[in-house]
Amino acid sequence: MRRIIGITTAIFILAIVGYFTVTYYATYSEGTRSGHLIKISHKGMLFKTWEGEISQGLSGSQIFSFSILDKDKQVIADLQEMEGQYVKLSYIERYRTFPWWGDTKYYVTAVRKENSPLKFN
């Protein structure tokens, strides 16, 4: 009986460690998105996270919401500086997320200013 409880406990602990390892390291996709940066905020009650949005459509009907990890200080500073401008975001998408990482599954890893395709010379 003691051996069965030990094996069951070991399997349970390995399953939990495996779940958190996959959640932490595995990514579902990565890519880029462009649009007007309309929002960057530090929000939350229990866990403060960085969240943002870009508008990808003319009327703001296509909104891409994203999160930024606290460790990406330069990305946060760049986004705050570029608010209201046309930007190109590099991001990763995760299978799952933790509440202390952010509200979305999309995490911005880099940002750069782009020329808006809507400006006519």
Q: For residues 97 and 61, what is the distance between their CA atoms, to the nearest angstrom?
A: 26
Q: Is the pLDDT of residue 33 over 60?
A: yes
Q: Does position 27 have pLDDT exceeding 70, yes or no?
A: yes
Single pTM value for the model = 0.80
Q: Assign 3-state DSSP to the chain and report helix, strand, coil percentages, each to 5.
A: 30, 40, 35
Total structural domains within the chain: 1
In a domain, 32, yes or no: yes
Q: How far apart are CA 38 and CA 52, in angstroms?
A: 8
Find the mean pLDDT for residues 83-92.
94
Flag whether pLDDT at 121 surpasses 60. no
Asked if residue 120 is part of any domain, the answer here is no
- 108 or 60: which leads in pLDDT: 108
- Joined together, the tokens standing for residue 119 give 């400006």
Write the DSSP assignment of 26-60 as a string of letters: -EEEEEEEEEEEEEEEEE-SSS-EEEEEEE-SSSS
pLDDT of 119 reads 67
- Evaluate whether residue 54 is within a structural domain: yes
pLDDT band at 39 (very low <50, low <70, confident <90, very high): very high
Does residue 71 fall inside a structural domain? yes
The pLDDT of residue 25 is above 70: yes
For residue 96, being part of any structural domain is answered with yes
> Residue 120: its pLDDT value, please?
53
Quick check: helix, strand or coil at residue 11?
helix
What single-letter DSSP state applies at residue 113? Answer: E
Q: Any idea what the CATH number is for the domain that residue 94 is in?
A: 2.40.50.140
Binned at pLDDT 50, 70 and 90, residue 57 comes out as: confident
Q: What does the alpha-carbon distance between residue 23 and residue 106 come to, in Å, rounded to a whole number?
A: 13
> Is there a domain that residue 18 lies in?
no
Residue 2 confidence (pLDDT) above 60: yes
Domain extent at residue 70: 27-113
Give the residue among 90, 86, 85 at the shortest CA–CA distance from 111: 90
In a domain, 64, yes or no: yes
Q: What is the pLDDT of residue 59?
A: 66
Q: Is position 16 within any domain?
A: no
